């Protein structure tokens, strides 16, 4: 290395050491006697919070929900937890240390001290139903102000978010889930949320913690017991040995569902030897040769060509069944039967051992489908429907409902429409039957029917889109409009293509796009409440406490949104500035005269929210 280059490297390292030393150098402060006794610095947060609370009539909402108690009022508990993120507190425990530092907030709440158990015990005494009634009253009052009321052309959005809880064996509702952001399995909770959005505003509605039903918990307990016994579920021999021990111990085993790699000759032979009933679920690629035929056919072909004459209907399950007959496959001699969902006409091929009589085969498949239906009834989709219904009952006027692709399930879409929504807009999904001009297509094939010259250019909020549409028949739903969207990439070559499904075939393409783009507001909400309002920072061993804390994170988001709507000068200010500079502005207290003095710069440059115009019945 040349001498000049070595000197250059030495200067660079010296400069890096100096920067590092300055970065970590402690500042030496000198001590002096205070002229007056130091006091907690009062801020304007308490005043803004009090106005928000009173103008929305939230004390009356607590009474309507039956939320009353002696001692520290629930109103105070709610308001303290509501400002958790705004004050910078990291947990409820930290909150009781932070709140007393704001003399104005303590004075407004009439508090001299605050204890952690007051918050935990207070939140735990409220049922989830009471929390939802209180939320409903809040939203109903919100609809009385024209600036914040929901609109008919607005939309209700539903989505889920995950909160990882690695060390949470005592937190209720925690289970193993697949974390989509990190592509890993981890302990955590799934929270379902509904949200209102239109072109000028958005705010959260109702939420629910997804909790597995009894059937799922029983199944998980069995798998846990199997793991504790040292059984590797991927190894058929170990699973068979475990099942034999269960039978030897006198434990009765119900019919076992077998799919994927376990549906092999060795494992099935082992089950037959043990006398354990099984029901195989065939994948589309599995091949069978029907008795009396020489040509083998895969599952997809069998289902497509089959047209049984005799169907057995089960109205309670919503399925009908038919037998295809005996066949030879990879697992040996089997009996094939079809189950068709009568609502959306989707078919599944099942198999049992060849010596199983038809009555037993129907009994097994009914048991399996009833288990799945039980999961569905208390699953995410059904809980979502309940939350959407609560939104309708809270006077949210939106005629539109929109969801991400995950919610693309025909029966769910029809149930949403039955709640009174005029249309559902959702990203379409492949793997379903779309019939266009009498011919069935899968989603990717429909792009060929939408030539480039058919696309029309549209602008939406400064972005360019090209749209065209087809009216098709979606199995299980009926006639729908598919809107094909092409969008140029900003930072790399190529196009971003997607297909939106709208149940209203007369709705303009540009409005279908507008409605779906409003779905992004709930993603913005998730990011905001997780970063700024401690969403998901619950640790209680009581579901009601965790639900209340989660609910109030959403109300804090609403509080900031209402503040911006009522203060036009804050419209362009970032949320961090509003929290740190506006809401937590340092003020002076005159408790003798019940006055609070705001600085001139805030009153002159930004002013106060227009609370007088925000006049609701019961407000002050």
* DSSP at 378: T
> 555 and 477, same structural domain?
no
pLDDT at 617: 44
pLDDT at 384: 94
Q: Which one, of 271, 242, 245, lies nearest residue 258 by Cα?
A: 271
> 258 and 373, same structural domain?
yes
> 339 and 263, same structural domain?
yes
Mean pLDDT for the stretch of residues 8-36: 67
- Distance, in Å, from the CA atom of 499 to the CA atom of 502, rounded to the nearest integer, reads 10
pLDDT, tens digit (0-9, with 9 covering 90-100), for 319-375: 889 898 899 988 889 999 998 877 667 788 999 998 888 888 888 888 888 777 665
> 566 and 513, same structural domain?
no
* Helices and strands in the chain: count of H runs, count of E runs: 22, 22
Mean pLDDT for the stretch of residues 146-150: 91
Task: With H, G, I as helix, E, B as strand and everything else as coil, classify residue 175.
Answer: strand
Give the count of beta carbons closer than 10 Å to the beta carbon of residue 95.
21
The highest-confidence range among 58-62, 110-114, 172-176, by mean pLDDT, is 58-62
Give the number of domains in the chain: 3
Q: Which one, of 164, 235, 198, lies nearest residue 538 by Cα?
A: 164
What dihedral angle (degrees, nearest 10) is formed by the CA atoms of 71, 75, 80, 83?
180
> 328 and 362, same structural domain?
yes
Residue 400 scores a pLDDT above 80: yes
**Backbone angle region of 536, left / alpha / beta, with phi > 0 → left and psi within -120 to 50 → alpha:** left
What DSSP line would sit under 22-43, residue for residue?
A: HHHPPP-PPP---SS---PPPB
Mean pLDDT for the stretch of residues 455-463: 81
Per the CB < 8 A criterion, the answer to whether 123 and 544 are in contact is yes
> 70 and 112, same structural domain?
yes
pLDDT at 427: 93
Task: With H, G, I as helix, E, B as strand and everything else as coil, classify residue 166.
Answer: coil
Per the CB < 8 A criterion, the answer to whether 187 and 175 are in contact is yes
> What is the average pLDDT score of the chain?
85
- Distance, in Å, from the CA atom of 354 to the CA atom of 365, rounded to the nearest integer, reads 15
Burial class (CB within 10 angstroms; exposed 0-12, middle 13-18, buried 19+) of 320: middle
Report yes or no on 445 lying in a domain. Answer: yes
> 370 and 258, same structural domain?
yes
> 323 and 261, same structural domain?
yes
pLDDT, tens digit (0-9, with 9 covering 90-100), for 469-522: 999 999 889 999 999 998 876 655 556 788 999 999 999 999 999 999 999 999
Query: Where a domain ends, among 351, 377, 403?
Result: 377
pLDDT at 139: 95
- Positive/negative CA dihedral, 389, 394, 400, 404: negative
Give the burial string for 283-318 (b: 16+ CB within 10 Å, else e).
eeebebebeeeeeebbbeebbeeeeeeeeeebeebe
The pLDDT-based confidence of 389 (bands split at 50, 70, 90) is very high
Per the CB < 8 A criterion, the answer to whether 498 and 485 are in contact is yes
pLDDT, tens digit (0-9, with 9 covering 90-100), for 258-302: 888 888 888 888 888 888 888 888 888 899 998 888 888 988 888
- Positive/negative CA dihedral, 220, 222, 226, 232: negative
> 128 and 50, same structural domain?
yes
pLDDT at 31: 62
The pLDDT-based confidence of 614 (bands split at 50, 70, 90) is low
Task: With H, G, I as helix, E, B as strand and everything else as coil, classify residue 398.
Answer: coil
The highest-confidence range among 8-22, 27-41, 87-101, 242-256, by mean pLDDT, is 87-101
66 is in which domain, residue-wise? 45-140+542-605
Q: Rounded to the nearest 5°, which phi and psi values hold at 49?
A: -65, -45
- Distance, in Å, from the CA atom of 388 to the CA atom of 381, rounded to the nearest integer, reads 11
- Distance, in Å, from the CA atom of 244 to the CA atom of 295, rounded to the nearest integer, reads 38
Query: Where a domain ends, among 377, 407, 435?
Result: 377
Widest Cα–Cα separation across the chain:
103
**Backbone angle region of 430, left / alpha / beta, with phi > 0 → left and psi within -120 to 50 → alpha:** beta
> 368 and 324, same structural domain?
yes
> 570 and 512, same structural domain?
no
> 445 and 331, same structural domain?
no
The pLDDT-based confidence of 620 (bands split at 50, 70, 90) is very low
pLDDT, tens digit (0-9, with 9 covering 90-100), for 53-67: 988 889 999 999 998
Report yes or no on 322 lying in a domain. Answer: yes
């Amino acid at each position: 290395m040349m001498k000049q280059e070595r000197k250059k490297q030495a200067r660079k390292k010296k400069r890096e050491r100096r920067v590092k030393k300055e970065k970590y150098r402690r500042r030496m402060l000198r001590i002096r006697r205070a002229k007056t006794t130091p006091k907690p610095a009062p801020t304007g947060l308490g005043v803004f919070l009090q106005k928000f609370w009173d103008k929305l009539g939230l004390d009356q909402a607590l009474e309507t929900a039956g939320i009353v108690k002696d001692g520290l009022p629930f109103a105070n508990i709610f308001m303290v937890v509501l400002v958790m993120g705004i004050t910078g507190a990291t947990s409820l425990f930290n909150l009781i240390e932070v709140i007393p530092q704001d003399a104005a907030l303590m004075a407004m709440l009439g508090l001299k001290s605050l204890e952690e158990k007051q918050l935990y015990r207070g939140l735990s005494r409220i049922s989830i139903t009471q929390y939802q009634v209180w939320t409903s009253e809040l939203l109903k009052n919100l609809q009385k102000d024209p600036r914040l009321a929901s609109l008919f052309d607005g939309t209700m959005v539903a989505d889920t978010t995950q909160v990882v809880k690695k060390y949470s064996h005592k937190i209720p509702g925690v289970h193993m889930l697949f974390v989509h952001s990190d592509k890993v399995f981890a302990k955590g909770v799934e929270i379902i949320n509904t949200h209102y959005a239109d072109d000028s505003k958005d705010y959260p509605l109702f939420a629910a913690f997804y909790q597995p039903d009894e059937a799922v918990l029983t199944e998980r307990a069995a798998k846990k017991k199997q793991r504790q016994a040292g059984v590797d579920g991927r190894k058929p021999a170990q699973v068979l040995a475990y099942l034999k021990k269960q039978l030897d111990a006198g434990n009765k085993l119900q019919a076992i569902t077998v799919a994927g790699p376990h549906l092999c000759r060795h494992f099935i032979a082992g089950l037959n030897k043990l006398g354990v009933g099984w029901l195989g679920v065939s994948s589309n690629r599995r091949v069978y040769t029907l008795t009396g035929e020489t040509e083998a056919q895969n599952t997809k072909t069998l289902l497509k060509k089959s047209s049984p004459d005799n169907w057995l209907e089960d109205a309670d399950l919503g399925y009908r069944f038919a037998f295809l007959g005996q066949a030879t496959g990879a697992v040996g001699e089997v009996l094939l039967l079809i189950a068709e969902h009568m609502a959306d006409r989707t078919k599944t091929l099942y198999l049992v051992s060849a010596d199983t009589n038809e009555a037993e085969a129907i009994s097994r498949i009914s048991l399996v489908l009833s288990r799945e239906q039980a999961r569905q009834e208390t699953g995410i989709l059904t809980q979502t429907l309940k939350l959407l219904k609560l939104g309708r009952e809270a006077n949210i006027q939106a005629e539109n409902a929109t969801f991400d692709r995950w919610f693309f399930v025909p029966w769910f879409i029809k149930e949403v429409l039955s709640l009174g929504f005029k249309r559902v807009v959702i990203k379409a999904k492949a793997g379903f039957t779309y019939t266009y001009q009498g011919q069935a297509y899968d989603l990717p094939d429909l792009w060929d029917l939408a030539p480039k010259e058919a696309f029309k250019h549209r602008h939406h909020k400064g972005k360019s889109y090209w749209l065209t549409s087809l009216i098709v028949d979606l199995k299980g739903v009926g006639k729908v409009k598919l809107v094909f969207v092409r969008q140029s990439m900003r930072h790399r070559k190529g196009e971003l293509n997607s297909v939106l499904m709208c149940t209203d075939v007369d709705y303009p393409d540009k409005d279908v796009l507008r409605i779906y783009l409003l779905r992004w507001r709930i993603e913005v909400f998730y990011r905001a409440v997780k970063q700024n309002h401690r969403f998901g920072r619950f640790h209680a061993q009581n579901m009601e406490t965790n639900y209340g804390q989660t609910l109030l994170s959403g109300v804090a988001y609403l509080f900031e949104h209402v503040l911006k709507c009522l203060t036009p000068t804050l419209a362009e200010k970032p949320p961090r500035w509003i929290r740190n500079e506006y809401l937590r502005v340092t003020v002076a207290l005159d408790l003798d005269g019940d006055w609070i003095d705001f600085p001139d710069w805030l009153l002159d440059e930004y002013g106060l929210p227009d609370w007088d115009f925000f006049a609701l019945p019961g407000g002050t």
